[in-house]
């Protein structure tokens, strides 16, 4: 089995992760989604963005990178929320 060659540059991450964060926030706002479903929506959005936009030639590469995009968006949101709460306490 040959593993796919995955070409990722900084622009994929600088565009994909904020786009996924924005998509999840818009969906949460308009559809009143329960909080426990938001991470799943972020990962699914990461899969879709990666497979359809970043890596359309390789499904395996798209799924691999989509996983990272989705979880990077989740981690960035959690870090920003924690920092904001800590800032507001002071």
Q: pLDDT digit string (tens) for 36-84?
A: 999 999 999 999 999 999 888 889 888 988 999 999 999 999 999 999 9
Residue at 25 is within a domain: yes
What's the domain range around 57? 10-89
Q: How far apart are CA 20 and CA 68, in angstroms?
A: 11
Per the structure, the count of domains in the chain is: 1
In a domain, residue 3? The reply is no
Residue 4 domain-assigned? no
Tell me if residue 32 falls in helix, strand or coil: coil
User: Residue 1 falls within a domain, yes or no?
Assistant: no
Residue 41 belongs to a domain? yes
pTM, two decimal places: 0.83
CA dihedral 65, 12, 57, 38 (to 10 degrees): 50
């Amino acid at each position: 089995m040959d593993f796919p060659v995955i070409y990722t540059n900084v622009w994929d991450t600088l565009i994909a992760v904020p786009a996924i964060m924005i998509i999840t926030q818009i969906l949460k706002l308009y559809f009143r989604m329960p909080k426990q479903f938001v991470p799943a929506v972020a990962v699914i959005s990461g899969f879709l963005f990666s497979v359809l936009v970043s890596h359309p030639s390789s499904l395996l590469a798209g799924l691999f990178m989509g996983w990272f995009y989705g979880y990077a968006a989740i981690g960035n949101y959690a870090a920003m929320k924690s920092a904001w709460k800590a800032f507001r306490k002071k």
